[in-house]
Chain A
Amino acid sequence: MEPLIRIRGLSKRFGNGCNRCLSATGPEFETNMCPHCGSVVACNDVSFDLFKNEALGIVGESGSGKSTLVRLLHFEWDATDGSMEIQRNAGLDTMPELFADGDLYSRNLLGLSPFQKRQVRNALMGIVYQNPFLGLRMNVSSGGNIAERLLGAGWRNIGKMRKRAAELLEKTEIPLDRMDEPPKNFSGGMQQRVQIAKALSNNPLILYLDEVTTGLDLSVQARVLDLIRTLQSEYKLSLLVVSHDLGVINLLCQRTMVMKYGRVVEAGLTDQILQDPQHKYTQLLVASQL
């Protein structure tokens, strides 16, 4: 089986950088800030494959570079280096320029123009942030939030957009009589579910989940996680699940990468990472679990 996306050598540096940045940062040095030039190596040389209908976990503490990774892959930030290639699929039929004749994989998506990146994102990707303020317009109705996304994906018929919004909100268990209310009126768990509805509106193949349950009550967390599990199997989504919570990763992901100071220190089957962690940091992380 061929992966849906191939990520190779993904790197992001903030600052001008010098030729000693890489040899003076990382887990061995317990910092991601270069002592010579002050640049921050947010992530360096990250490579992995994401398969169809697979959930891949990324764990690590704050500052390990896991959210940076998602922002690079969602085209919010420009990578310093690296490539992202996607397997040919129906969602990209309108963008034949991405594929050289007959090639199974696209050219490097990170090198596309901003306009093309937006097109790819609208066709294939959804994202749910820890902070609903990043993913939602709090003063616009919940239905309107979804319609905005649909407009971006090329929808034009108001009636159809409203129907689709209702469908999605129903799926994410938002009472339909509250669809015209803005998310600012909602509880944290409901806001997260509106975000999920919005992220799914364009029928994405890839869904990025960035600490989506962090800060929610346990019972609310459970409902959001159950919803994600159901939606993943229903829509055959590929998930990239970023979390510092091993419980969340264990529930959702079969494979996991562990990051520390901008580097992947370990990658493996989730049960292996939890029961036979290899790297010192992973052992500490597993031993620190409540």
Chain B
Amino acid sequence: MLTVKELSKDFTLHILGEKNIAACRDVSFNVPKGGFLGLSGPSGAGKSTVLKCIYRTYLPSSGAVWYDSAEYGRIDLAILPDRAVIDIRTREMGYVSQFLKVIPRVSALDVVMEPILARNGVSREEARSRAVGLLKRLRIPDHLFDAYPATFSGGEQQRINIAHAVSWKPRLLLLDEPTASLDSGSVDLVLELLKELREEGTTMIGIFHDSELMASVTDSIFTIS
């Protein structure tokens, strides 16, 4: 499904006198369809960099990211034109960051509904009921549904973030520390959601700071040194 081949990413900081920072070097791994790969390695090893290169928030410096797209067939995300990347992000590839980044002044319910409406071609009522179901499962209190997530606690924000990312059932999901700011009860809820999503066929790559937890949810682990 996804083959990362000799991926390297350097940052050249022109405004700091052409300073060069090597964020990751020659990373290669493979994730089969429906698989869940965990990325491990010490802090600063480049785990997040690899995810951001796959999502194309970072432009890879060299190497390839081969992805079997439902729409386009086998493509190299490293060099795919911007418009096609947007299309893949819209239809197939989701990303959960460590922190919630949502559009301001949009309610929690709308944040979760929006991707369902935009991507799954269902009615407003259907999208709404799915979003409500998801928020309830993640134990977001009812009275917060129409509030702005920017005002929520860290744990609530992170659960909204996850609901937003999984609500439309992406084909490939990239997870960067999705459970970092959650209490153990919420962690279990999230892991259960991810498990269900996998059973429905979503392929995943994830970074988790808790190595025991990572071993329990993923089916293989790649260590970046």
Binding site for B on A (CB under 8 A): 1, 49, 51, 222, 226, 229, 251, 254-255, 267-269, 271-272, 275-276, 278-280, 283-284, 287
Contacts and interface: CB of A to CB of B under 8 A. Distances in A.
Interface in B85-105: 85-87, 103-105
Given A275-B57, A276-B59, A269 B85 contact: yes
B52 interface: yes
Contacts of B57: 269, 271-272, 275-276
> Which are the 10 A-B pairs with shortest beta-carbon distances?
A280-B14, A276-B58, A271-B57, A283-B15, A275-B57, A269-B82, A254-B86, A284-B15, A283-B14, A255-B82
Contacts of B103: 229, 251
Contacts of A229: 103
B83 interface: yes
Contacts of B169: none
Contacts of B104: 222, 251
Contact of A51 (B14, B15, B83, B105): B83
Contact of B86 (A226, A251, A269, A284): A269
Contact of B13 (A251, A254, A272, A283): A283
B166 to A, nearest CB: 20
B11 interface: yes
Given A276-B11, A280-B15, A283-B14, A269 B56 contact: yes
A209 B86 CA distance: 22
Contacts of A287: 15
Contacts of B56: 269, 272
A268 B83 CA distance: 9
10 contacts: A1-B87, A251-B103, A255-B82, A269-B56, A272-B57, A275-B58, A276-B57, A276-B59, A283-B15, A284-B15
Nearest to A233: B118
B14 A268 contact: no
Contacts, number: 44
A276 B10 CA distance: 10
A226 B105 contact: yes
B86 A255 contact: yes
Contacts of A254: 86
Given A271-B57, A272-B59, A222 B105 contact: yes
A255 B104 CA distance: 19
A280 B14 CA distance: 5
Nearest to B86: A254
A268 B82 contact: yes
Most buried by B among A1, A226, A271, A275: A271
Contact of A272 (B11, B15, B58): B58
B160 to A, nearest CB: 18
B60 to A, nearest CB: 10
Contacts of B87: 1
Interface in B59-89: 59, 82-83, 85-87
Nearest to A247: B104
B92 to A, nearest CB: 15
Contacts of B11: 276
Contacts of B14: 279-280, 283
Contacts of B13: 283
A49 B86 CA distance: 14
Given A269-B57, A276-B57, A280-B15, 14 more contacts: A49-B83, A222-B105, A254-B86, A255-B82, A268-B59, A269-B82, A269-B86, A272-B58, A276-B11, A276-B58, A278-B59, A279-B14, A283-B13, A283-B15
B158 to A, nearest CB: 19
A85 to B, nearest CB: 17
Nearest to B53: A276
Contacts of A267: 82
Contact of A275 (B52, B83, B105): B52
Most buried by B among A254, A267, A284: A254
Contacts of A280: 14-15
B155 to A, nearest CB: 25
B124 to A, nearest CB: 13
Nearest to A268: B82
A275 B52 CA distance: 10
A239 to B, nearest CB: 14
Contacts of A284: 15
A268 B56 CA distance: 10
A161 B13 CA distance: 56
A116 B139 CA distance: 59
Interface in B31-60: 52, 56-59
A229 B104 CA distance: 12
A216 to B, nearest CB: 15
B157 to A, nearest CB: 18
